[in-house]
Structure 1
């Protein structure tokens, strides 16, 4: 202790010949840091002999104000708020060019317009022959494609997805400590129950595949148990920030969830309308009145379904990532500004949303496009795997399952990079590729990647979303089994409808849970930008982190 006090006195007594010069550390440059000569060798030796963690000496001379730290922003400007009237835009300024990746934003707009055109055309054709497709669960004459029965099914799927997603989000708020355990147990139990049910129904292919999933889920959960305390601390800190007066995390989650449900409903009706409007009837089946003009073909149906599904993926990913960038701006404001005289900038939530939908619109669209393409491939594997399982082809089902797992790993890698890149984009408006490269290199150099790998919050939220998706898929299966729609004789459409129900439940729940994941990820990125802020401005959070994860003192390079 004496050595540390001497070292601190030595730091504070030395002149600073490099005042105002850029601070160099780990290859990054930033304005506002000041360099000091190292203490004498005997003081350095005394510091190295300490066994207990001690906060590093304050690197600023006493006569200077405390709040001069600035995160390495790669050319962007950071102005700590001096009063509570300073806005988010003034605190995190964007340098020119402000608009990046415009081509991706324009392409997304064009894709959305195409989705609107296809939806409008098919819904118009559906409305002309709605009596042929029935006015409820039963009574339709359609025996060759999806009909009103399917629309009602998707309505129930949306209700289940919305209800369970919102309850799951509220559970994270009310039972933060138990949330991780609850999610792991529910995910394992649902996987086992699904496998048992399919085996009981003698659907051997699907039963074996889900049994493999169940074993994998149980092994993963057991291996995660030692890391749960660290995840709980990160989750608690995220929820504590969400409860602050100047942020609106819960409101953003609710509004984003409602928008996702509304779009999922639009997508579901459009999907059914495509089949009704352009699917030619089978030989011996009731003729499709919509095909009287010879405009129907299976190729046209497949093409439209592929397009609207791709558009649906891209649009929902954009919604999710826009919410992510909005919340990232809020948590970045808390991390860097909560300890300043002005506190969190005024209008942090609205300011971050405005930036995400204007300057960063193209960059968010670009990142969402990559994920949408990968998800399309995974969806195709899922449908093929379930089709093989329904036909009793166990080998084919397992092969498509393995291919789906490979695509899933690729999706995880891209999503992992996106999460932290969007945090950078949210605060400083960097282009997508530049933000991904800079953020990843910075996190590696700071040692934050070790914390990310040991944090379970992301996998826990994914497991919760998969649980909701399981429920939606199971609901669609039971619905088709007990209503026996004429078009599904021989379970022809069961794999397709189950896959789309799974997709709806997964996307809706992921959008609901995005604010929590965005909060945790942004704290990691902020600690990579400037770990000293966590020690000086958020000492209670840092102390709790050290208690459950002592290794944090070695992995973060302050």
Structure 2
């Protein structure tokens, strides 16, 4: 067989041996058709139960000796047309037979939420501008002693600047020091967790100190458990970075543009948040009443309601942005995996084509997946504020309870995001609806064993830990700023938990957007290997050789498909 012959020659020349190589009549696959042969289209007639790019199912089923589908699997890649020259576009290579706008209701709901955020922001910023002098022109000089003011806007400006600078430096370190990147992340996260716990204990904030001490112990244990899996993760990250440096792959540009957009959205959100408090928070007394409330309409309930809405909208918008970046990058990396070894190479305009599909036919599917994560993030944010408030009040029991609840929500968030990100890889190339893509992709990876391979890779946890490092840093900056400037509205540290929670959110989201292209590349490679593992051996032999060194199980996984 062509696959077996090429792979055997390659590995015999490099002192490798293929394990238990099955004969031709047991593999279930035939060799590549000629490059000019287009794959069969779905004309409504009965088709074979499973087709992959370049592969046709054999009449005899594969032996039942490895991970594979137990039932008829969905078809993948049946509309894949290998590029014949360097002018073939992404849309021509990964065709959608009958394009349609999937999950349209979710897309419309997202647009309505965005319009609502714009309306609330516009109204509150107008009210804030009318009474700007009452809230001060800088860090000091505000007559407002009951709600957020200009002092808070300057605080968020510092948070945005630090979040942007540290996140971009973190991304560049992944590019320049890929091998050491995981060690740097783990050590910095452990050091920051220990330092933060020590600082809070030094300031006699016992509840916060104990909680962060527990986090520090957990971070150290996690990092130690990482060590055996670091070589495998390094290979995956190095391959991702190698692809990112190729022509027609604009990963670094996508990361920079996404980070800038996220900073702009975070600034917009921060100013809107302050404007809500300034516009609708009643004063403490008649002597210091809020002039914006002279015509009535102010109440603490309205403030809480608007803050909850803009926080949810901010989460959904930022999650949609991350998912759109992820889907765009997934289309680019999928183009590399399936096309780089073919005569035409990576399709022309792969990045732009993937972005166009993500913002048109897949817009609703991305909005739906982002909505689920946004709801979970909102619940986690509420737990974080409640935990900070309990800590400030010295309520150790309440702090521990909200901490445990937050951990459970974080586990749920991890599970949803794990499924989401692999489903978006499918959506990027084949344009399915969200639920169908999530079910098909997860079943395929699980039945073929690639879910275990993906779980062994540390790229996701490393990036999450790095994002937490930036989030802890911005939250600590907010705390120190409030302690040193001592704004009148924060007498008794009333607003410290809320401001720290939102600073944490801003730092976390900025870093996650910056790092999304890296994790997207790794995840897309996993999904592509599950779709058509033979392409890895034939078209990317050097990558396969390095992968074999650190993860020998991949050979059995490929041969058993």
1:427 to 423, 426, 429: 429
In 1: Cα distance, 2:267 partner to 2:245 partner: 31
Structure-2 change in CA distance of 1:347 and 1:104 (3 Å): same
1:310 to 303, 309, 312: 312
Q: Report the equivalent of 1:152.
A: 154
- Residues 1:397 and 2:420 are matched in the alignment: no
Superposed displacement of residue 555, structure 1: 3.6
Q: Report the equivalent of 2:213.
A: 211
Superposed displacement of residue 418, structure 1: 0.4
Q: Report the equivalent of 2:342.
A: 340
In 2: Cα distance, 1:163 partner to 1:208 partner: 30
Structure-2 change in CA distance of 1:96 and 1:37 (3 Å): closer
What is the 5 A alignment of 1:66-77?
A: 73-74=75-76, 76-77=78-79
CA RMSD after TM alignment: 2.7
**Residue-by-residue CA offset, 1:318-369 (whole Å, 9 max, x unaligned):** 0111000000000000000000110000100111111111111000000000
- Residues 1:35 and 2:69 are matched in the alignment: no
**Residue-by-residue CA offset, 1:157-205 (whole Å, 9 max, x unaligned):** 0000000000000000000000011000011111111101001101111
**Residue-by-residue CA offset, 1:268-288 (whole Å, 9 max, x unaligned):** 000000000000012366110
Query: What secondary structure is seen at the aligned counterpart in 1 of 2:284?
Result: coil
Structure-2 change in CA distance of 1:10 and 1:174 (3 Å): closer
Q: Report the equivalent of 1:488.
A: 490
In 1: Cα distance, 2:429 partner to 2:58 partner: 27
Residues matched between the structures, number: 523
Structure-2 change in CA distance of 1:76 and 1:112 (3 Å): farther
In 2: Cα distance, 1:108 partner to 1:190 partner: 37
Contact 1:73 1:428 in 2 (8 A): no
In 2: Cα distance, 1:242 partner to 1:128 partner: 48
Query: What secondary structure is seen at the aligned counterpart in 2 of 1:244?
Result: coil
In 2: Cα distance, 1:284 partner to 1:477 partner: 30
In 1: Cα distance, 2:22 partner to 2:227 partner: 44
In 1: Cα distance, 2:305 partner to 2:229 partner: 46
Superposed displacement of residue 10, structure 1: 8.0
Q: What TM-score do the two structures reach when normalised by structure 2? A: 0.89
Contact 2:164 2:263 in 1 (8 A): yes
Structure-2 change in CA distance of 1:208 and 1:285 (3 Å): farther
Query: What secondary structure is seen at the aligned counterpart in 1 of 2:249?
Result: coil
Superposed displacement of residue 19, structure 1: 11
- Residues 1:195 and 2:197 are matched in the alignment: yes
Structure-2 change in CA distance of 1:414 and 1:129 (3 Å): same
Contact 2:49 2:74 in 1 (8 A): no
Q: Report the equivalent of 1:59.
A: none
In 2: Cα distance, 1:304 partner to 1:430 partner: 35
Structure-2 change in CA distance of 1:359 and 1:17 (3 Å): closer
Q: Report the equivalent of 1:234.
A: 236
**Residue-by-residue CA offset, 1:364-384 (whole Å, 9 max, x unaligned):** 000000000000000000000
Query: What secondary structure is seen at the aligned counterpart in 2 of 1:490?
Result: coil
Q: Report the equivalent of 1:85.
A: 87
Superposed displacement of residue 550, structure 1: 1.2
Structure-2 change in CA distance of 1:9 and 1:182 (3 Å): closer
What is the 5 A alignment of 1:85-484?
A: 85-283=87-285, 286-484=288-486
Q: Report the equivalent of 1:550.
A: 552
Q: Report the equivalent of 2:510.
A: 508
In 2: Cα distance, 1:19 partner to 1:349 partner: 27
In 2: Cα distance, 1:252 partner to 1:230 partner: 26
Q: Report the equivalent of 2:43.
A: none
What is the 5 A alignment of 1:2-17?
A: 11=24
Contact 2:139 2:150 in 1 (8 A): yes
In 1: Cα distance, 2:182 partner to 2:147 partner: 42
Superposed displacement of residue 545, structure 1: 0.6
Superposed displacement of residue 294, structure 1: 1.3
Q: Report the equivalent of 1:66.
A: none
Q: Report the equivalent of 1:58.
A: none
Superposed displacement of residue 553, structure 1: 2.0
In 2: Cα distance, 1:91 partner to 1:309 partner: 40
In 1: Cα distance, 2:287 partner to 2:372 partner: 41
In 2: Cα distance, 1:19 partner to 1:229 partner: 33
Contact 1:333 1:344 in 2 (8 A): yes
Q: Report the equivalent of 1:55.
A: none
In 1: Cα distance, 2:494 partner to 2:21 partner: 75
In 1: Cα distance, 2:307 partner to 2:231 partner: 44
Structure-2 change in CA distance of 1:238 and 1:385 (3 Å): same
Contact 2:422 2:523 in 1 (8 A): yes
Structure-2 change in CA distance of 1:127 and 1:76 (3 Å): farther
In 1: Cα distance, 2:299 partner to 2:330 partner: 46
Contact 2:226 2:458 in 1 (8 A): yes
Contact 1:338 1:344 in 2 (8 A): yes
- Residues 1:529 and 2:552 are matched in the alignment: no
Structure-2 change in CA distance of 1:115 and 1:10 (3 Å): closer
Query: What secondary structure is seen at the aligned counterpart in 2 of 1:181?
Result: helix
Contact 1:11 1:36 in 2 (8 A): no
In 1: Cα distance, 2:78 partner to 2:23 partner: 34
